[in-house]
Amino acid sequence: MIPAHELSERVGQVQRFTRVEIFLQQMVNGLVIASVLVLVALGITLIFGLTGIVFFAQGELLMLGGFTVWFTVAQGGNYFLGIVLAASLLLALGFCLERGLMRFTLESPLNGFIVSLGLIIAFQHIVILAWGALDKGIDRPISALWNVGDVHISATRVFVVGVTALVVVLYFFVIARTRYGRALRSVAEDREVAAMMGIPVRRYITAVFVVGSATAGLGGALLLALFPVNPFIGANFVIKGFAVALIGGLGNVTGAVIAALLLGLVEAMSAGYSPAPQWTEGYAFVLMILILLLRPQGILRGTAGARVS
Amino acid sequence: MLVERRWRTRLTKYPAGASPERLLLILAVPALLIAAPWILSDSRLVALAIVAGINAIVLYGLAVLFGLTGILSIAHAALWGIGAYTAGILLRDFGWSFWAALPYAAVMAGVAAGLLGYPALRVKGHHFLIVTFAFGELLKLVLMNGGDFTGRGQGLLILEGVPPAFGLTFTSSESFYFLVIFFLLLTIATVYLLGISRLGRTLRAIRENEDLARSVGINTNAYKIGAFVISGALTGVAGALYLYYLRSVSPELFGAFPGVQMVMMLLLGGSRVLLGPLSGAVIVGFLPELINLDPIESQITFGVLLIVVILVLPQGLVAGTQSRYIWLKRRLVALVRQRPAVTMVESAGWEDGIGELGREDDDDS
């Protein structure tokens, strides 16, 4: 809540936005976009790295996470409770999907992709059936507004970026420092040899689906804090998530993070400064096609790599 | 003995003998298609049939690329849109009627498909799939932001219908349906001839083992681009038909998700069997009517159906049905003749044109 005397001061300040302020605001926007993208891309890149399946349904999982939180808040629940619920629900869903469906497609990744297409169609329309096709939004869960110098940064944005950063750090830590992470890396590198070494490969694949789904659900929950969600956002985010995962190198977590930051900043700058902002959505596609044509393995090499003729 | 016969039929240039089932299909399917308006009494059902027919043409285009050449693409809705928008813009800006604009719609879609084919030479499989998804979304974006040329969000609106030709008018629903069936039968014939031709065999070779094909001197790049162009041209024709049916088109109809719908329809029916694309379009068009689902429920059903079909009958419903039919027939024959039936799992293929039905009739004599 902004006190009245500050409000009038703030109004006066509006005319005096400096270029630096706008730039910093866009940077923060970029970080927010990058956060959601990275949460989607982490699941995508890990699932592909381990199984070779192009799991397009990841976007729908994000959408489901967002809707779970919206539903919780709409029933009078707390937003943060909603986040926990979303992550848990998506965790369970990821487990069911993997055990129930995706494991039959491990031998044929193309079938896995087609199953994910079926899931997209089914999930999208189940949500439309349940709650309609219109935007669903919630009020800002954290209404604090901070002043850093002359720039106003909303605490919600900091929260979103902060939680994402925490998750990313957690991923890095587990993958790089723990023995589970080492086992994961070896499965990504060579499934058969890893199995021969005694690593329970199927269990790791299940784990990757589970964690990836939960992460996507978290992404949706965080997204809802700032923007409204509708049943169709899955398509948008999955393709950008794939763009990020591809640009960074499929299977490469560091690459995904870097690519997410890159794309997030590009989109924010385009939305803020470009004379033709309606093309903002297109940069992801163009960048992705360029990367696929010029350097298919991504900026930092992916584990599964791309099949280049 | 049956193994010998399989070899013999594979090496012949033309499909194996005319079995009763095959002849029945050759006669029955076109007859059913033509007789449909009288069978479907409701004009709403005829409208569904028109849309199913147009979708089927797109699916045959996609089948040339996926069933024959082995390249899956989610961009075919976008190619469809290119055909539709080309026909629309030619009418709006130059006054070219349907018949004049049709070849150009096919050409534009074919060219776009050919361009799309170039990334396919560099990246394979999943990565190309993602490229086609991006292509679909990108096209939608281009159409939305193309200013008044493309009509922005509302798209194009045309005021004319298809002008009369050969003494036939196309103003009524039924007559438009016959127009669509005409092109559909033409498409099926084209795809069939392609399937049994040398070009078709080459594409199949590329599908099965590209490196091997290249090692025997086949210019795989040229053939793949060619497959894209043919695929695109067929889809472009469907686009023009769609524009003249709806009288208005907008970018939402041609993005990545309609592309996913196309893939779903094709996979439901079966991409390698001649009747597969048609069946897929008919099932998706008429199932909601049959079991009384609203549009949203029907989409959920199709999503689930796709998952079930791909896991249980990966070749599609038509091929699965054919296999079951052959199996059943063998059992019955064996029962009647008191001798054991030989069970062989066969997969329907293009080699015999209208699928495998009746090939085993050779040993029934």
Tell me which of B119 and B354 has the higher pLDDT.
B119
Residue B284 has which token pair?
């998706």
| pLDDT over 70, % of chain A | 90
**Residues found in chain A:** 309
Which of B247, B232, B204 is CA-nearest to residue B50?
B247
Interface with B, mutate which of A107, A121, A239, A278 (most B CBs under 10 A): A121
Angle at B266 between CA B264 and CA B272, to 5 degrees: 140
Question: What average pLDDT score do residues A105-130 get?
Answer: 89
Has residue A150 got a pLDDT over 70? no
Whether A15 and chain B come into contact, CB under 8 Å, resolves to no
User: What pLDDT, on the 0 to 100 scale, is given for residue B227?
Assistant: 94
- In this prediction, residue A7 has a pLDDT band, given cuts at 50, 70 and 90, of low
The count of CB pairs under 8 A between chains A and B is: 132
DSSP conformation class of B156: E
- Look at A146 and A119; give whichever has higher pLDDT: A119
Q: B126 vs A101: CB contact, 8 Å cut-off?
A: no
- Alpha-carbon distance A65 to B159, whole Å? 45
CA dist B352 and B337 (Å) reads 27
CA–CA gap between residue B295 and residue B299 (Å, rounded): 6
Q: In chain A, which residues have their Cβ closer than 8 Å to the Cβ of B303?
A: 117-123, 125
This prediction has a pTM of 0.83
Mean of the pLDDT values across residues A80-105? 91
Is residue B138 within 8 angstroms of chain A, CB to CB?
yes
Alpha-helix runs per DSSP H in chain B: 2-11, 20-39, 43-63, 76-94, 98-122, 125-144, 173-196, 198-208, 210-215, 220-246, 256-269, 276-290, 295-312, 317-337
Task: Please report, rounded to a whole number, the percentage of residues in chain A having pLDDT higher than 90.
Answer: 32
What's the rounded Cα separation, in Å, for the pair B348 and B325?
A: 12
Tell me: the pLDDT tens digits for B8-61?
Answer: 333 333 345 556 777 788 888 888 888 888 877 777 888 889 999 999 999 999
pLDDT tens readout for residues A29-65? 889 989 999 999 999 999 988 888 889 899 999 999 9
Instruction: Report whether pLDDT(B5) > 50.
Output: no
Q: Does A293 touch chain B (CB under 8 A)?
A: yes
**What is the DSSP annotation of B162-196?**
PPPBTTB---SHHHHHHHHHHHHHHHHHHHHHHHH
pLDDT for B15 equals 47
pLDDT band at B361 (very low <50, low <70, confident <90, very high): very low
B180 touches chain A (CB under 8 A): no
Question: Looking at residue B1, what is its pLDDT?
Answer: 44
Residue B355 pLDDT grade (very low, low, confident, very high; cuts 50, 70, 90): very low
Better pLDDT: B148 or B365 = B148
Q: In the structure encoding, which two tokens stand for residue A10, read together?
A: 């703030």
Summarize pLDDT for A213-266 with one digit per residue, the tens.
Answer: 999 999 999 999 888 898 988 888 888 898 898 888 888 888 899 999 989 988
Whether residue A296 and residue B123 make contact (CB cut-off 8 A), yes or no, is yes
Residue A49's pLDDT is what? 84
Question: Which of A17-31, B169-183, B318-332 is the least confident region?
Answer: A17-31
pLDDT tens for residues B63-77?
Answer: 999 988 889 999 999
Look at A128 and B296 and tell me if their CB atoms are within 8 Å: yes
Output the pLDDT for position A8.
55
- B364 at interface of A, judged by CB pairs closer than 8 A: no
What confidence tens digit (pLDDT) does each residue in B147-176 have?
Answer: 777 777 777 887 777 777 777 777 788 888
Of A271-280, A284-293, B332-341, where does the model show the most confidence? A284-293
Q: Left (φ > 0), alpha (ψ -120 to 50) or beta: where does B89 sit?
A: alpha
pLDDT, one tens digit per residue, over A158-184 is: 889 999 999 999 999 998 899 999 998
* More reliable by pLDDT, A10 or B288: B288
Which of the residue ranges A285-299, B220-234, B256-270 would you say has the lowest mean pLDDT? A285-299
Interface of B with A in 287-326 (CB under 8 A): 296-297, 299-300, 302-307, 310-311, 314
Q: Which of A110, A115, A243 lies closest to B307 in CB terms?
A: A115
Nearest to B145 among A278, A288, A296 (CB): A278
Return the number of other C-beta atoms located less than 10 Å from residue A18's C-beta.
10
Residues in CB range of A216: below 8 A, 6 or more apart: A39, A40, A43, A58, A59, A61, A62, A65, A90
The nearest CA of chain B is from the CA of A160 a distance in Å of 27
Q: Which residues contact A26 (CB under 8 A, 6 or more apart)?
A: A268, A269, A271, A272, A273
Q: Find, among B180, B353, B161, B214, the residue nearest to B274 by Cα.
A: B353
Structure tokens at B11: 């090496």
Handedness of CA B123, B218, B230, B48 (dihedral sign): negative
Sequence-ordered list of residues with C-beta below 8 angstroms from that of A58, at least 6 positions apart, any chain: A40, A43, A44, A47, A212, A213, A216, A238, A241
Radius of gyration of chain A (CA): 20
**pLDDT level of residue A17 (50, 70, 90 thresholds):** low
Q: In whole angstroms, give the CA distance from residue B264 to residue B276.
A: 12
pLDDT of residue A6: 58
The residue of B76, B118, B124, B126 whose CB has the most chain A CBs within 10 angstroms, and thus the best one to mutate to test that interface, is: B126
pLDDT value, residue A91: 94
Average pLDDT for chain B: 82
Q: Which residues contact B222 (CB under 8 A, 6 or more apart)?
A: none
